[in-house]
Amino acid sequence: MVGAIKEICIFVIIAQAIMFFVPGNSYMKYVRILVGILMILKITEPIFGLFLDEEKEKEISEGIALLEQKIERNAGGLDVKDNRMEIYGSVTEELKNKLNSCESGYKVLNVELTEDQRIVITVAADKIEKSDGDKIHIDPVVLGGGGAQSSEVPEEEKEELKQIFGNSISVDADKIKIVFREN
């Protein structure tokens, strides 16, 4: 019985090490199921040994060994695809839609997630004006001066926009960077 307890303890340690090296959280549940099944088999093996005769015990242990061999063969053939780009694409598209639906006054052109867990939001530099009944808003026209009007956005407006976007997607405003572009 002491030998069986030692085997179970060693199995638990090895199982924890295997779960530590699982690539990504999406595969963790499958590894846990597999480890759980093997753990149940390891625990029940000595218990059945007390109640079953040696012939049945040998049959069960052969079945366990066969199952372990099949699992090892099938695990070698698993092709794990890296779906990060698809996941990032759908997450950024969802963020973009959510940010466009909030009332910021700007159109979100692009959302990018950086490796340092920051969000870069590219917005159209010209504001979207809300229609107020029959009123029409016309931006001021500058004649002369030989160039376009400066499109620098005041820092206070950038911070306010970070707060609006942060509240909309439940992210700290310090983790958001706003990039302004001409539409």
Q: What is the pLDDT of residues 91-137, one digit of tens each?
A: 888 888 888 887 777 888 888 888 787 888 888 865 544 445 556 55
Query: Taking 80 as the threshold, does the pLDDT of residue 176 lie above it?
Result: yes
Domain limits for position 170: 84-137+151-181
Q: Which of 49, 76, 103 is the last residue of a domain?
A: 76
Q: Are residues 67 and 114 in the same domain?
A: no
Q: Are residues 94 and 175 in the same domain?
A: yes
User: Domain containing 92 — which CATH number?
Assistant: 3.30.300
pLDDT at 130: 47
d(CA 39, CA 60): 15
What is the reported pTM? 0.43
In a domain, 142, yes or no: no
pLDDT at 10: 87
Of 80, 85, 65, 64, nearest to 31 (Cα)?
80
Task: For the chain, give the mean pLDDT.
Answer: 75
Which of the four pLDDT bands, split at 50, 70 and 90, describes residue 147? very low
pLDDT digits (tens, 9 = 90+) for 23-70: 777 778 888 888 888 888 888 877 766 676 777 778 888 888 888 888
Structurally, the chain folds into a number of domains equal to 2
Q: Which of 76, 94, 119 is the last residue of a domain?
A: 76
In a domain, 172, yes or no: yes
Q: Copy the structure tokens of residue 70.
A: 């099949």
Q: Are residues 28 and 67 in the same domain?
A: yes
* Average pLDDT of the segment spanning 143-158: 59
Q: Are residues 34 and 106 in the same domain?
A: no
In a domain, 167, yes or no: yes
In a domain, 63, yes or no: yes
Tell me the CA distances in angstroms from 109 to 47, 49, 105, 122, one per residue in order: 63, 67, 13, 5
d(CA 48, CA 60): 9
In a domain, 51, yes or no: yes
In a domain, 123, yes or no: yes
Give me the torsion for CA of 77, 78, 84, 90, rounded to 10°.
130
Q: Which of 76, 98, 122 is the last residue of a domain?
A: 76
Q: Are residues 69 and 19 in the same domain?
A: yes
Query: Taking 50 as the threshold, does the pLDDT of residue 78 lie above it?
Result: yes
In a domain, 173, yes or no: yes
